[in-house]
Copies of this chain bind each other. A is one copy, B any other.
Amino acid sequence: MNELIEFISSNLQITYIIILATFVGIEVIKSIPAVLHTPLMSGANALSGVVIVGAILVMLHSDPTDYVALALGFIAVVLGVLNVVGGFAVTDRMLEMFKKKK
């Protein structure tokens, strides 16, 4: 608990950002048609690939001799990109069906 309070006081604005972002997330999604569930899930999944940014940072900051870090970072990047690119691509294909025929 104290940790939490401490965290809040030290990153007050972060906290606001988190809360607001949460609201945005909720408001934006609520009440969507069921057919969109899967595409949306897939899209969100692609978004969750932002970790890639972290992975890249890891590599940028790790020094070229620290092979472990590099290796892990490398894998992390590969996986992350997979998630991102694959995710968006699949989502796009799922959404094919919504092209108006007329």
Contact = CB atoms under 8 A, between A and B. Distances in A.
Interface of A: 13-14, 16-17, 20-21, 23-24, 27-28
A32 to B, nearest CB: 13
A45 B13 CA distance: 25
Give the number of copies in the complex.
Answer: 2
12 contacts: A13-B13, A16-B17, A17-B20, A20-B21, A20-B24, A23-B24, A23-B27, A23-B28, A24-B24, A24-B27, A27-B27, A27-B28
Given A13-B14, A13-B17, A23-B27, 11 more contacts: A13-B13, A16-B17, A20-B20, A20-B21, A20-B24, A23-B24, A23-B28, A24-B24, A24-B27, A27-B27, A27-B28
Nearest to A24: B23
Nearest to A28: B27
Contacts of A23: 20, 24, 27-28
